[in-house]
Amino acid sequence: METAEPEGAAVAERLLTSSLRTSYDPVVEIDWDAPHTPGAYWLPPHRSSLYGTPLWSRLSAEQRVELTKHEVASAASAGLWFETILMQMLIRQYYDDDPTSRHAQYALTEVADECRHSIMFGRLIEAMGCPVYRANAVDHWLGRFLKTTASGPRMYAAILIAEEILDAFQREIMADESLQPLIRMVSRIHVVEEARHVRFARDELARQAAAAGPVGMAYARLLVGRAAYTIANRLVHPKAYAAVGIEPEAGRAAARANPHWQATLRWSASRVHDHLAGVGLVAGPGRLLWTRAGLI
C-alpha cells in the first residue's frame, strides 16, 4: 500500500491531537442505571418510520414511545454491525501501512474509538431492554464480503454512508431536550467522535477516487450503491414493529409507503449523497440502488 501523501499525514496529525482533547469512555461518562423519563420519546416522533400513517394513529401514546425505543435499538444494532465491518477494514489497511506514520496511528485511534462505540451501543440496547436486531443472512454475508475485500474509494465511501446517515439522526436527537437523556448522551458522544472519522474518511476518499481508474470507479459505484441500499433498509428492522403489536411485514410496507419516512430517509442521506456524487460515486446502476433505497 502506498504511504499517505503529506496532506493526508497533516490531517491525521490534527485528528490525533483532537482525539487527545475530546474522547470519551461511555462506560464511565454515562449513568447506565439512571431511570428512564416516563413518556419521553427515544427519537423525535416525526422521525419514526410510521409517523403520519394509519398505524401510527392507532397507537397509544405509550406504544408510540415504545416504537421509537425499538427503532433506536434497531439503528444501534445496525451501527454495531457496520462498526464491526469498519474496524476490520481499517485493521486490514493498517496491516500494510507504516506503523510509524501518523496516518496509520490515526487509523488505530479510530479503531479504538469504534471499540468504545460498539460497547456503548451494546450497553444502550441492554439498558433499553430491547433485543439486538441482527442482519439477515444476505446482509451478513455481504458485510463479510465488504470487510474482506473493500479498499480504495469503495471502502471509504461505504464508511461515510453509514456514519453520515446515523450522524444526521443523532445530531437532531442530542439537541432535542424533550427526548430521553440516555439517548441524547449516547448521541452526543457519538457525534463528537464521529466528526473526526468523517473528516478522515472524506480526506482519504478524495485521494483514492483521484487515483482510481475508470474500471475501479465503476465497480466502486455499484458496491457503494449496494451499501447505501443495505444501510437504509437496516435502519428499522421489521421485527421492531412487533414490539407494539404490528405484524412485521405490515409495518415495513406501511413505512415504505409513508411519505414522512421517505422524506426522512432523503434528509438523512442528503449530505453524504451530495459529497459522493461530487466525486463521481453516484451514477449508473449504483444510482438505481440509491433510488430504490429511497435515499434520493
For 173-215, write each residue's pLDDT tens digit.
Answer: 999 999 999 999 999 999 999 999 999 999 999 988 988 889 9
| First CA to last CA distance, the chain | 34
Confidence at residue 23, expressed as pLDDT on a 0 to 100 scale = 87
Cβ-based neighbours of 268, under 8 Å, separated by 6 or more? 165, 168, 169, 295
| 40 within domain boundaries | no
pLDDT at position 182: 98
pLDDT value at position 198?
A: 93
Sign of CA dihedral 252, 165, 88, 220: positive
Q: For 90-117, what is the mean pLDDT?
A: 93
Q: Give the alpha-carbon dihedral of 236, 239, 245, 248, to 10 degrees.
A: 90
Number of neighbouring beta carbons within 10 Å of residue 175: 13
Output the pLDDT for position 7: 59
Identify the CATH number of the domain in which residue 215 sits: 1.10.620.20
| Domain contains 204 | yes
Whether the predicted pLDDT of 3 surpasses 70: no
Q: Are 171 and 195 in contact (CB under 8 A)?
A: no
Handedness of CA 227, 232, 233, 237 (dihedral sign): positive
pLDDT in tens, 41-74: 999 999 999 999 999 999 999 999 999 999 999 9
How many domains are there within the chain? 1
| Amino acid at position 217, single letter | M
CA–CA distance, 152 with 105 (Å, rounded to integer): 18
Q: Is 24 part of any domain?
A: no
Q: Which of the four pLDDT bands, split at 50, 70 and 90, describes residue 4? A: very low
pLDDT digits (tens, 9 = 90+) for 215-264: 989 999 999 999 999 999 999 999 999 999 999 999 999 999 999 999 99
Q: Is residue 3 part of a domain?
A: no
State the pLDDT confidence band at 2, using cuts at 50, 70 and 90. Answer: very low
**28 vs 36: CA distance, rounded Å:** 18
Name the CA radius of gyration of the chain, rounded. Answer: 19
Give the range of the structural domain holding residue 149, as residue numbers without chain letter: 9-17+46-292
Q: DSSP code of 280? A: T
Q: What is the pLDDT of residues 152-171, one digit of tens each?
A: 888 999 999 999 999 999 99
CA atoms within 13 A on the CB side of 192: 17
Flag whether 130 is in a domain: yes
- Structural domain includes residue 97: yes
User: Looking at the predicted structure, is the pLDDT value of residue 1 above 60?
Assistant: no
In a domain, residue 79? The reply is yes
pLDDT at position 264 is 97
25 domain residue, yes or no: no
* Percent of the chain residues past pLDDT 90, beyond the cut: 83
Q: Which residue has the cell 427519537?
A: 43
Model confidence pLDDT, tens digit, residues 116-141? 999 999 999 999 999 999 999 999 99
Residue carrying C-alpha cell 444501534: 76
SS3 per-residue string spanning 15-45: HHHHHHHCCCCHHHHCCCCCCCCCCCCCCCH
